[in-house]
A = this chain, B = another copy of it.
Amino acid sequence: MFERYVLPRLDGLRRSPVLRRTIRLTGLGESAMESLLRPVYGTVPPGVSVTTLASPGELSIRLSSSGPPGRREKAEARLDGVVGAIERVLGPYIYSLEGESLEAVVGALLKEKGLTIACAESCTGGLIGHRLTDVAGSSAYFLESAVVYSNEAKTKRLGVPKALLMKHGAVSAAAARAMAAGIRATSGADIGLSVTGIAGPSGGSPGKPVGLVYIALARSRGVSVVRSLFFGRREDVKFQSAQRALDLVRKSLTKPPRKPL
């Protein structure tokens, strides 16, 4: 799966190899990435080009290196150096050095660790399940997703108490926690992942604006919850929510737990 392919390119009359890499990141904005990359740019050797692409919730850095024919090793080494420098400044945000999708990375981690996942989705509407099942072989670790759009479904499918929804609202840390714990308990999965938020354009209020999203992760050691505020259109809020949710799973599977979640 290493996206390290050689494109033959006509350079005058000689064929010159062009090596490429794609680094994919999430969890920071474009301007923050550019600030962090600034010192790296000064060290990029000649022959290597660095292009950044940004969309809501998703960033990528494309590197290419070309050189005279037969000097592939040198071009590889130059790329490795730049990738290393980028990893040092952006490490925590990088989910793939090989151009893979976040759902493929999460899927590979779940498979490797022999863990199963089930989701409870409100504002993402099924996008997380859709993305996880875009990966061939996902039935090995993905059990189900309860897309609980209505409050009745949250209560009936996941056992979220009506009183909790009345007191805190469906978009709240308490609801997210109850949804994650509920899907984990009712599905029997190792990991329960929940998302509840306001995708917009309507439904916001001064206390709970459009783009407010709570994501919770339930594991055997407990439930953690994250509050985020995303901007953009309805589709952007949904995508960023799914992205943050999948990245939380990735982080929980790669980092050693420092304290009980």
Residue A205 lies at the interface, judged by CB distance under 8 Å to chain B: no
Q: Tell me whether B144 and A199 are in contact (CB under 8 A).
A: no
Residues of A within 8 A of B (CB): 119, 121, 123-130, 132-134, 136-139, 142-150, 152-153, 156-157, 186-188, 199-203, 234-235, 238
Q: Tell me whether A143 and B149 are in contact (CB under 8 A).
A: yes
Nearest chain B residue, comparing its CB with the CB of A234:
B136
Complex copy number for this chain: 2
Q: Tell me whether B139 and A149 are in contact (CB under 8 A).
A: yes
CB distance from A17 to the nearest CB of B (A): 29
Q: Tell me whether A126 and B147 are in contact (CB under 8 A).
A: yes
Which B residues lie within 8 Å of A200 (CB)?
136
Q: Tell me whether B188 and A134 are in contact (CB under 8 A).
A: no
Q: Tell me whether A130 and B137 are in contact (CB under 8 A).
A: no
Q: Tell me whether B126 and A145 are in contact (CB under 8 A).
A: yes
CA distance A201 to B157 in the complex (A): 31
> Which one of B133, B136, B146 lies within 8 Å of A144 (CB-CB)?
B146
Nearest chain B residue, comparing its CB with the CB of A235:
B134
Q: Tell me whether A134 and B125 are in contact (CB under 8 A).
A: yes
CB distance from A114 to the nearest CB of B (A): 15
Q: Tell me whether A142 and B133 are in contact (CB under 8 A).
A: no
Residue pairs across A and B with Cβ atoms less than 8 A apart, 26 shown, are A123-B133, A124-B133, A125-B130, A125-B133, A125-B142, A125-B145, A126-B127, A126-B128, A126-B129, A126-B130, A126-B133, A126-B145, A127-B130, A129-B129, A133-B147, A133-B238, A136-B202, A138-B149, A142-B149, A143-B150, A144-B146, A144-B147, A145-B149, A146-B157, A152-B188, A153-B187
